[in-house]
Amino acid sequence: MSLWEFANPVKFMALSGKVLPWVIGLCAITLIPGMIWGFFFTPEATNFGNSVKIIYIHVPSAMMAINIWVMMLVTSLIWIVRRHHVSVRAAKAAALIGVTMTVIALITGAIWGQPMWGTYWAWDPRLTSFLILFLFYLGYMALWAAIDNPDTAADLTSVLCIVGSVFAVLSRYAVNFWNQGLHQGASLSLDKEEHVSNVYFQPLLLCIAGFILLFLALVLIRTRTELRLVRLHRLDVRERMKDA
Amino acid sequence: MIALLVRDLRLAMRAGGGFGLGLAFFLIVSTLVPFGVGPEAAILSRIAPGILWVGALLACLLSLDRIFQLDFEDGSLDLLATAPIPMEGIVGVKALAHWLVTGLPLTLAAPVLGTLMNLESPGHFWIFITLLIGTPALSMIGAFGAALTVGLKRGGLLLSLLVLPLYIPTLIFGAEAATRGTAGLSASTPLLMMAGITAGSIALLPFAAAAALRVNLR
Amino acid sequence: MLELGKYADAILSSWAITLGLLIALILVTWRRSVQVKQQLDAAEERAKRND
């Protein structure tokens, strides 16, 4: 019994169908209380005032935006090396979620930036990198949408994802070099010195867990849809072959 | 491989369009910018390196879809694929041909257009040297994008969407080096970074592009 | 009701936009999944009858 067993679409469908309700349930009992806790029951911060409440959506979505791209990179590599259908469909399924997270991070960041820095947008390295990440997501999704044959599309988008990842990292360093920024450093490091205080940290952790579970639930549903579409395509082709 | 290079160059010359079009586009962009931002010499000379870089990048983009498209349509790409040269070599030669017909003329024309934009005196040298080092990377990245979209009917717009984000690091370091050099500051760090990107692109991207071409020829 | 002070606009608009986007994403995902499932079931049915 190895992990690769679930690369078989039939096994994956069976397992994901069983797991899905649990993931959705767990997501509901972390995300909703986390958000309510963060929104209603947290005190004002000394420097940020009440605007600190934006952190409960800004930080999780920003984390997810990057991590989803990493997940797409890993699944694309698995497709290139081992050619498991589930893997590349999961990458495709994740792209729209990733782009939504990027947009949320950008918009909430801009709204938060206005009272804090006095501007909605600054060409700060972090902000700029997220904008670039958004462009990479768009390109990836556009390439999927443009190609009809599912296998060709899977191969080409995987190659794009791998090359794009290299250039995304390069852009990150280039942008850092180009302009030093306003954005504060990481607010969640394991290093205790820089840690935000527990009052904000606990609901934030709950929200992050909620976002991760939400992503898991959505990506499972979307991967299942994608696999069904592949099956549909196969049946379609077979039907046409018979007619011809 | 040399025969392929000569053939590509000759085709580009004869077709005419691809060869002059990029240069003409570059000239037009450099003419339009002063209309947009106003004729003050101080502003123009400050933004000139950046504008020239963006202009060169867009001009480069214009002719990218021709790298593989024509050969794909008339089937000669299939023949090349069965020829005893590796696909990576074909990609490299195609990118080199693209650079010779667009990147090199753009590099030579940029200092002249810099004069139009009141570029300060060391700027001509810097814009020339940064474009000389940076445009091969643009051609190589472009060849990769062209390989991805070669099978598509309306690949042009998609090609720009795919390739432009990949151009960002080259653009940042190139324009930064040109700006710093023009201002008389030390430009060696961005210049070296850009040279690194160019070298890395030439070394690694032919493999990715060849993989994409093989998928498209399947 | 909660006192949000001078940041009320910023907080409420960012939360509203976030929730809106997330709900839209969930709805799109769910609707597509139901649609595709129905299409596939119909196609499987046809395939079985043709065999």
A94-114: pLDDT as tens digits: 999 999 999 999 999 888 888
Chain C: closest CA distance from residue A63 (Å): 15
Contact A54 C43 (CB under 8 A): no
Chain B: closest CA distance from residue A221 (Å): 28
Higher-pLDDT residue of A101, A116: A101
Q: Do chains B and C touch (3 or more CB pairs under 8 A)?
A: no
Q: Which residue of B has its CA nearest to A173?
A: B169
Domain ranges within chain B, ordered by starting residue: 2-217
Contacts of A224 in chain C (CB under 8 A): 33
pTM, entire model: 0.89
- pLDDT in the model for residue C21: 95
Q: Residue A115 is nearest to which of C3, C10, C33, comparing CB atoms?
A: C10
> Of the candidates A45, A70, A72, A69, which has an alpha carbon nearest to the alpha carbon of residue A187?
A45
- pLDDT in the model for residue A191: 42
| pLDDT tens sequence across C1-51 | 466 677 788 888 899 999 999 999 999 999 999 999 999 999 888 888 876
Q: Which residue of A has its CA nearest to C12?
A: A54
Handedness of CA A145, A147, A150, A152 (dihedral sign): negative
Contacts of C15 in chain A (CB under 8 A): 39, 53-54, 57
Contact predicate B75/B45, CB 8 Å: no
Contact predicate A111/A96, CB 8 Å: no
d(CA A56, CA A104): 12
- Asked if A77 has any chain B CB less than 8 Å from its own CB, the reply is no
d(CA B163, CA A139): 9
Helix (H) or strand (E) holding A108: helix A85-117
Alpha helices in chain B (DSSP H): 2-15, 17-37, 41-62, 66-73, 76-82, 87-98, 104-116, 121-149, 155-182, 188-217
Q: Residue C21 is nearest to which of A44, A104, A228, comparing CB atoms?
A: A104
d(CA B29, CA A92): 37
Pick the residue of C23, C29, C37, C46 with the most A CBs within 10 A to test the interface with A by mutation. C29
Report the phi/psi class of residue B75: left, alpha or beta, with left for phi > 0 and alpha for psi in -120 to 50.
left
Ranges of residues in chain B with a pLDDT under 50 are none
Q: Residue A178 is nearest to which of B148, B149, B176, comparing CB atoms?
A: B176
CA dihedral in degrees (A6, A7, A11, A14; nearest 10)? 80
| pLDDT tens sequence across B118-148 | 787 788 888 999 999 999 999 999 999 999 9
| pLDDT tens sequence across A1-55 | 466 666 778 888 888 989 999 999 999 999 999 998 888 887 776 666 777 788 8
Contacts of A232 in chain C (CB under 8 A): 36, 39-40, 43
* Chains touching A, CB cut-off 8 Å, 3+ pairs: B, C
- pLDDT in the model for residue A189: 45
What is the predicted ipTM? Answer: 0.88
pLDDT over threshold 80, residue A69: yes
Question: What's the mean pLDDT in A146-156?
Answer: 88
Contacts of C31 in chain A (CB under 8 A): none
Q: How many residues does chain A have?
A: 244
Contact A177 B190 (CB under 8 A): yes
| pLDDT tens sequence across A161-205 | 999 999 999 988 888 887 765 566 555 544 444 456 777 788 889
d(CA B116, CA B34): 9
